[in-house]
Amino acid sequence: MNLKIENQVSLGVVAIGDTDLECRVEHGYANSNGVKIHYASLGQGPLIVMIHGFPDHWYTWHYQMEFLASNYQVVAIDMRGYNLSDKPKGVENYDMRSLMGDLHTVIRHLGREKAIILGHDWGGMVAWQFAMHIPDMTEKLIILNLPHPYGLARELAHNPQQQLNSQYARNFQQEKAYESLTPELLSTWVTEARMKEAVKEKYIQALQRSDIQAMLHYYQQNYPREPYVEDTSLSIKLQAPVLLIHGLKDEFLLADALNNTWEWVEKDLTLVTIPTAGHFVHQESADLVTRTIKSWLSR
């Protein structure tokens, strides 16, 4: 696949939030073919771009940002449809090509030729695809709780338990699914939002600024549909080193999909499984995940 993306740069900085981290990060926007992508940046050095999943926003990475900013420029984005980024109407605006284009634009906007890409959940899917199709801009790849796309497709095709546990995604693919979801309900999915009222309110506010219909377009446009089949187009070998961290209590993305990941990685693959953590592994095992990332990057 030869991906060509037209980039436009829009400079701008805004001040939001009232926490120490939110006051110290630099908030800005990159213009991805008319769609403004919000980001928060902290630190200096090699660039790490962090991409959240569903239903989340840039602040999900605050543990990792604080810890890694002493050695890197860490930039956490709001994906399109979420929080302070634009929310274009129409499911076609949430195809994988557009999502990869947003990441491409942010890297170029920051004046870099390549970056270390770190993604969780849908952010992990975008990161995998970006590394497959735009390898020259992918220095290293770090994925949290999102198996390789081919592994997930294989399990959906052959693993009845994964098919059963993916019912939520089939529900989200229904045209009116967004009508039954609220920011308050979605905030309960995020592990950190359960910890204390102030953090929960932060997530509710971010989801209130988001477009729930747009968030579900990710599933409608990109998640495999029945009848499930193995997609051999996803078996492209990655050229970047890969760190794959997976909380084994994840009920949505089962660990069986991790098998044979090494067959789709040309360079070294480091696989770390955490038996006590679930889907939001970077929050549930924040210290272990962050120190693992820093150690792996410093090799």
What's residue 16's pLDDT?
35
Token pair 């110290």 in the structure block, residue: 24
Mean pLDDT of the chain: 93
User: Percentage of the chain surpassing pLDDT 90?
Assistant: 88
User: Does the structure show a pLDDT above 70 at 4?
Assistant: no
Distances (CA, A) of 36 to 48, 95, 135, 263: 20, 16, 24, 37
Q: pLDDT per residue over 255-289, tens digit each?
A: 999 999 999 999 999 999 999 999 999 999 999 99
Mean pLDDT of 102-115: 98
Positive or negative CA dihedral for 269, 270, 275, 277? Answer: negative
> What would the two tokens of residue 145 be?
């709780």
| 248-258 CB burial, b ≥16 within 10 A, e <16 | eebebbbbebb
Angle between helix 149-158 and 122-133 (nearest 10)? 120
Q: List, edge to edge, every strand of the sheet that includes 35-42.
A: 13-14, 26-32, 35-42, 73-77, 47-51, 115-120, 138-144, 242-247, 269-274
Residue with tokens 């981290």: 21
Task: Please give the Cα distance from 86 to 139 (Å, whole number).
Answer: 27
Q: What is the pLDDT of residue 209?
A: 98
DSSP string covering 178-222: GGG--HHHHHTTSGGGGT-HHHHHHHHHHHHSS-HHHHHHHHHHH
Indicate the burial class of 34 (C-beta count within 10 angstroms; 0-12, 13-18, 19 or more).
Answer: exposed
Residues 8-44 have pLDDT tens digits of: 333 333 333 345 798 899 999 999 999 999 999 999 9
Rounded Cα distance between 107 and 109, Å, is: 5
- Contact (CB, 8 A) for 241 and 139: no
Q: What's the pLDDT score for residue 14?
A: 33
Predicted confidence at residue 232, as pLDDT, reads 87
Residues near 219 by Cβ (< 8 Å), separated by ≥ 6? 169, 172, 173
What domains sit in the chain, N to C, each tagged with a CATH number?
13-297 (3.40.50.1820)
Condensed to tens digits (0 to 9), the pLDDT of residues 123-175 reads: 999 999 999 999 999 999 999 999 999 999 999 999 999 999 999 999 999 99
Beta-strand relationship, 73-77 and 35-42: antiparallel
Q: Are 53 and 121 in contact (CB under 8 A)?
A: yes
Q: Which residue has the tokens 């693993």?
A: 159
Predicted pLDDT of residue 19: 57
Pairing outcome for strands 35-42 and 26-32: antiparallel
What amino acid positions are annotated as catalytic residues? Answer: 121, 228, 279
The pLDDT score that the predictor gives to residue 15 is 32
| pTM (two decimals) | 0.93
Cis bond upstream, residue 183 (ω within 30): no
Query: Residue 154 and residue 160: Cα distance in Å, rounded?
Result: 11
Residue 1, pLDDT above cutoff 80:
no
pLDDT in tens, 231-264: 888 888 999 999 999 999 999 999 999 999 999 9
